[in-house]
Amino acid sequence: MCLAVPGNIVALHDDVTATVDMLGVQRDISVALTPDAKVGDYVLVHAGFGIQVIDPEEARLTLEIFQEIPELVSEELDGVVPFGAAADAAAENETDETPAAGTVAVGAVA
């Protein structure tokens, strides 16, 4: 499965690099594919790339769905601290394993 995760651009570093916030975790991504993106915009992030600028309401709804599916939070958003029902489910499944470092893989674009 491949997912696209909404990220809020919190800083632009140059023409091709930005820092996004995804559920409280900040990551650097490429915005080479979204040259019109600016600080405050939401972009769909896939494999370390901002692939599409999206509406803030669409981002909010998508992030709510991610929080309702604990498996997505724990498997696709490695290192993200879940909240609400997802936090409770993640706590029940918590192990002593150290998560593997990696790139957030994100999904299908409308």
CA atoms of 48 and 68, how far apart (whole Å):
23
Whether residue 105 lies inside any domain: the answer is no
What local confidence, expressed as pLDDT, does residue 98 receive? 38
Is the distance from CB of 104 to CB of 51 less than 8 angstroms? no
- The amino acid sitting at 29 is I
Whether residue 108 lies inside any domain: the answer is no
What local confidence, expressed as pLDDT, does residue 3 receive? 80
Q: What is the domain extent for residue 18?
A: 5-92
Give the CATH number for residue 55.
2.30.30.140
How many domains in the chain? 1
pTM over 0.75: no
Whether residue 102 lies inside any domain: the answer is no
Whether residue 48 lies inside any domain: the answer is yes
Whether residue 99 lies inside any domain: the answer is no
Whether residue 101 lies inside any domain: the answer is no
Low-confidence ranges of the chain (pLDDT < 70): 1, 71-110
